Amino acid sequence: MFQIRQETVQDNTAIRQIHERAFGQSAEADLVDRLRISCPDQISLVAVAGDQLVGHILFTPAKIEYTDGSKVSGIGLAPLAVLPEFQGKGVGSLLIQAGLDQLHELKQSFVIVLGHPGYYSRFGFEPAYRYQISCEFTGENREAFMIYLLNHPAFQAKEGVARYHPDFSAFA
């Protein structure tokens, strides 16, 4: 029923509307528009039902800066939104899984997300603090900052801070 594909230029307005309606504000839609210009190195997927766009997910480059001065590159998942009338039908899951599959093929090392632990844990995300990784946006709910390890054996558990693309700082 739902197809997942890369976004095209014709999708921009519909993607804006998905975020505005799902979040009930324009901040996430504005962020997506900004990142389209400032961060061409992104994976942007849409979910389509017939000729209607019903969901959108964005993946942008992120990094972990360790306290010993070393760094590792990976990916940040944000934002993700599904039109309210299409929520609870598996669209969000399809978008997340399609993105993770692509990132596996691209041999990325990790994906970070700040979100609902009960939702993202079903895809294999774990609380990042288990790996001593924090996030500047975590706040008091440290369970909400999660990581998905794409290259588990190569991943080092040592103290570090995860950083999203700089545009997220203006957003937070």
**Is residue 155 within the footprint of ligand COA (CB under 6 A)?**
no
d(CA 138, CA 18): 25
**Is residue 104 within the footprint of ligand COA (CB under 6 A)?**
no
Q: By Cβ distance, which residue is nearest to ligand COA?
A: 92
Please identify which residue in 40, 50, 69, 88 interacts with ligand COA, judged by CB under 6 A.
88
CB under 6 A: which stretch of 33-41, 78-86, 129-137, 152-160 binds ligand COA?
Answer: 78-86
User: Which CB atom, from 81 or from 133, has the smaller least distance to ligand COA?
Assistant: 81
Nearest of 143, 155, 74 to residue 114 by alpha carbon: 143
CB under 6 A: which stretch of 29-37, 113-121, 126-134, 151-159 binds ligand COA?
Answer: 113-121
Q: Is the dihedral of CA 84, 149, 122, 137 positive or negative?
A: negative
Beta partners for residue 115, in sequence order = none
Q: Rg of the Cα trace of the chain?
A: 16
**Is residue 69 within the footprint of ligand COA (CB under 6 A)?**
no
Compute CA distances 74 → 55, 100, 171, whole Å. Answer: 23, 12, 20
**Is residue 17 within the footprint of ligand COA (CB under 6 A)?**
no
Look up residue 136 and give its two tokens: 């500047």
CB under 6 A: which stretch of 37-45, 86-94, 100-108, 129-137 binds ligand COA?
Answer: 86-94
Whether the bond into 40 is cis, omega within 30 of 0: no
Name the minimum Å distance from CB 87 to ligand COA.
3
